Chains A and B, each alone.
Chain A
Amino acid sequence: VTARRPTLDRALAEALIVVCVGSGGVGKTTTAAVIGLEAARRGRRVVVVTIDPAKRLADALGLTDGLSSVPARIALGDTTGELWATMLDTNAAFDAIVRRYAASEQQAERILANRFYRNIAGALSGTQEYMAAETLYDLHDDDRFDLVVVDTPPSRHALDFLEAPGVLVRFLDHRVFKLLMLPARSGLKVMNVAAQPILKAIGRVVGSDVLADAVAFFQSFAGMEGGFRDRAREVMTLLTSEQTRFVLVASPRHDTITEAVWFAQELTARRHEVNAAIVNRTQPRFGAITVDEALAGAASAAVAGHPDLAALWTNIAELRELADREDEVLAPLVEQLDGAPLVAVPLLGSDVHDLGGLAEIGRHLFSE
């Protein structure tokens, strides 16, 4: 007896942005690609953004040169929609913003050449998240695409990108930032600023040359905060819109389900709706045979002198035992979802190597 199985159909209808959220190693990037592929098959012009180079995904999509920060179109044969793929390049995205808001080319060059800038562009906590939000906004704005599917950084900080624009604004308002900006406003020299007690203390910890670079960076930043602030507000508005959908991705392990429940609670607390959850790599079930029935089958086959048949019964008992334990693991997530669909993708016999493999997963996520 099969009830109508849960799918992503409704979660994706009329979506403009789909955000895949989950901990590392749960197949988030692959899931994003599968969603993109299926949406393209349904006529959408989709771009999938990955957070890392995802080489295996690039191979599966037939991109021999790998993913880059410039969207590449995937050959899909006769499909009305389009599928494009790109990856987030934090440094390139940050450089682009600096160029956009700089008052002059000289100001932009000064910032881009600064050693401290080169460090923060990749390393400032929240930079990657902020740039993910930025890139998302750009692609959403791009006329070539009508759906953006994005994967999020594989960490507990994955949701930071929802707040990253706000964090950046707060950082610009921070008094240390203002202190560092001071020379630009009052005509003080870098060295005089570095002589401020608190900065002097920082300099003693990190080294004075590092500090001098930092002060120089913030000085060259002067005048750009306004543009940053406005943009951050636009990005926040987009992320809270009705047509931005959130899909949780997990694997059937106690720790990743705990994370998924945590993500769901955090999203709800930020007034985002969790539209669906996908659990990858679940144990497949074969027929409706219970563990006890299978063990009884194995025992009677053994007694009847059919060891091979007994081995097949034992096998099904073992697989069913794994599947049953998994249901216990998934229970807290089912409860947290409060009626939103939970779609299970069974473990495949082999890895995903091509578009056909992605489409096979797609058959588990969507109705025919």
Chain B
Amino acid sequence: VNPLQLTSASRVTIVAGKGGVGKTTVTAALARAAADAGQRVLAVELDGKPALAEVVPDVTVRTISAPASLDEYLRTHGFARIAKRLSTTGVIDVVSTAAPGIDDIVVLGKIKQLERSGEWDVIVVDGPAAGHAITFLTSASGMLDAVRGGPLRTQASDVVELLRDPQRAQVVLVTIPETTPVNEAIETAYALEDRVGVHLGPIVVNGVDPGIDVDLPDPATVKVPRGAVGAALRAAARYRIQRRVMQRAEIARLADDLAVAQVRLPMLATARLTADDIARLAAHLGGGA
């Protein structure tokens, strides 16, 4: 898989996956790969934990938060006078309550606006966790059902249009090669296609044992030193073999159940990902898996 296909297939790439599978890492690697290919890249973070700027220092990173987007939305839609009062009195909470999903819609609306600005070739969004990804992306179609008219409905229908156009938007799911994360990725993939109608890009399998395709010698047949050292060598080999067998099986199962291209990223022995690590992963995307 060519990394440019990953991002340039659609202008907006929303990266989604269960917590802990490396969503932010993949967002950064995609942004890095696209920037290295000379594209104008915007990386978007949704919640308040700035993590991207540090690992892709030369890529423009923007944080889009729900309260700020709602405020901006109100200001630019003829509610300038009440916008401040609404947020200071906490009425915004009541508004969000009265119209569930409004937070998500204004955020997606902001992304749509950036996409429409023509300033960026590629927008990579570090999306919400897998479970919330479905609620996040169905918020707009839900709003169309619930609200009959008004500015919010217009916003929602613009967002639905964006999500359903494979030229403009896609979701890249991230998982790791283990039973539960693979199950969740498969479920999320089907839910996204059925309920959101969004284009599913390649799936990224992160944390793959770098030696997954190599067989370790059967530890029982190797002549090892006597005592604790030999026992440790054998136990470690048995463990690694077992992990590789499991990873291979899960990768194969994912390929069987989900007819989309797979991209594998190796597990890195590092305490904290640096810009160099991200560059390595981006290059790995480029090298083809």
User: Are chains A and B native binding partners rather than an unrelated pairing?
Assistant: yes
Decide yes or no: A311 and B243 within 8 Å by CB, A205-B95, A286-B235, A286-B236 being known contacts: no
A24 in contact with B19 (CB, 8 Å): yes
B259 within 8 A of A: no
* Minimum C-beta distance from A282 to chain B (A): 13
B117 within 8 A of A: no
B95 in contact with A206 (CB, 8 Å): yes
B98 in contact with A312 (CB, 8 Å): no
**How long is the Cα–Cα vector from A125 to B222 in the complex, in angstroms?**
59
A350 in contact with B19 (CB, 8 Å): no
A289 within 8 A of B: yes
B5 within 8 A of A: no
A116 within 8 A of B: yes
A26 within 8 A of B: yes
A43 within 8 A of B: no
With beta carbons under 8 angstroms apart, the residue of B85, B93, B98, B236 that contacts A316 is B236
Q: Contact mask A4-18 → B, CB, 8 Å, 1/0?
A: 000000000000000
A residues within 8 A CB of B95? 202, 205-206
A284 within 8 A of B: yes
Q: Contact mask B241-271 → A, CB, 8 Å, 1/0?
A: 0110010000000000000000000010111
A154 within 8 A of B: yes
B102 in contact with A206 (CB, 8 Å): yes
A residues within 8 A CB of B49? 255
A residues within 8 A CB of B96? 125
> Which residues of chain A in 128-178 are interfacial with respect to chain B, using CB atoms and an 8 Å cutoff?
154, 156, 171, 174-176
A198 within 8 A of B: yes
With beta carbons under 8 angstroms apart, the residue of B74, B222, B239 that contacts A309 is B222
Interface stretch among A84-92, A181-189, A322-330, A337-345? A322-330
* Minimum C-beta distance from B238 to chain A (A): 8
B90 within 8 A of A: yes
* Minimum C-beta distance from B46 to chain A (A): 12
B150 within 8 A of A: yes
B79 within 8 A of A: yes
| Tier of interface size on chain A | 35 or more
B148 in contact with A289 (CB, 8 Å): no
B residues within 8 A CB of A287? 228-229, 231-233, 236
Q: Which 9 pairs of residues, A with B, have the shortest CB-CB distance?
A: A287-B232, A24-B19, A25-B19, A25-B20, A123-B100, A349-B242, A328-B271, A286-B236, A308-B217
* Minimum C-beta distance from A37 to chain B (A): 19
A204 in contact with B150 (CB, 8 Å): yes
B224 within 8 A of A: yes
Number of interface residues, chain B, beta carbon within 8 A: 70
**How long is the Cα–Cα vector from A85 to B76 in the complex, in angstroms?**
50
A329 in contact with B147 (CB, 8 Å): no
**How long is the Cα–Cα vector from A326 to B47 in the complex, in angstroms?**
26
**How long is the Cα–Cα vector from A56 to B184 in the complex, in angstroms?**
11
A25 in contact with B246 (CB, 8 Å): no
Interface stretch among A62-70, A207-215, A360-368? A207-215
Decide yes or no: A351 and B180 within 8 Å by CB, A255-B51, A312-B219 being known contacts: yes
A95 within 8 A of B: no
B residues within 8 A CB of A347? 243
* Minimum C-beta distance from B82 to chain A (A): 5
B64 within 8 A of A: no
> Which residues of chain B in 63-104 are interfacial with respect to chain A, using CB atoms and an 8 Å cutoff?
74, 77, 79, 82, 85-86, 89-91, 93-102
Q: Contact mask A194-234 → B, CB, 8 Å, 1/0?
A: 00001001101111011101100000000000000000000
* Minimum C-beta distance from A82 to chain B (A): 27
* Minimum C-beta distance from B6 to chain A (A): 22
A residues within 8 A CB of B86? 198, 201-202
B150 in contact with A207 (CB, 8 Å): yes
* Minimum C-beta distance from A205 to chain B (A): 6
B179 within 8 A of A: yes
**How long is the Cα–Cα vector from A305 to B285 in the complex, in angstroms?**
36
A residues within 8 A CB of B239? 284, 286, 319, 349
A residues within 8 A CB of B151? 205
With beta carbons under 8 angstroms apart, the residue of A116, A309, A349 that contacts B223 is A309
* Minimum C-beta distance from A162 to chain B (A): 19
B79 in contact with A207 (CB, 8 Å): no
B residues within 8 A CB of A273? none
* Minimum C-beta distance from A326 to chain B (A): 8
A106 within 8 A of B: no
Closest A residue to B234 by beta carbon equals: A312
With beta carbons under 8 angstroms apart, the residue of B94, B152, B228, B272 that contacts A254 is B272
**How long is the Cα–Cα vector from A210 to B129 in the complex, in angstroms?**
29
B229 in contact with A325 (CB, 8 Å): no
Q: A309-B222, A351-B180 are in contact. List 18 more A-B contacts (CB 8 A).
A: A26-B19, A52-B131, A198-B86, A202-B91, A205-B151, A206-B98, A206-B102, A207-B147, A207-B148, A210-B99, A210-B147, A214-B97, A287-B232, A306-B223, A312-B237, A326-B271, A328-B272, A349-B242
**How long is the Cα–Cα vector from A120 to B94 in the complex, in angstroms?**
10
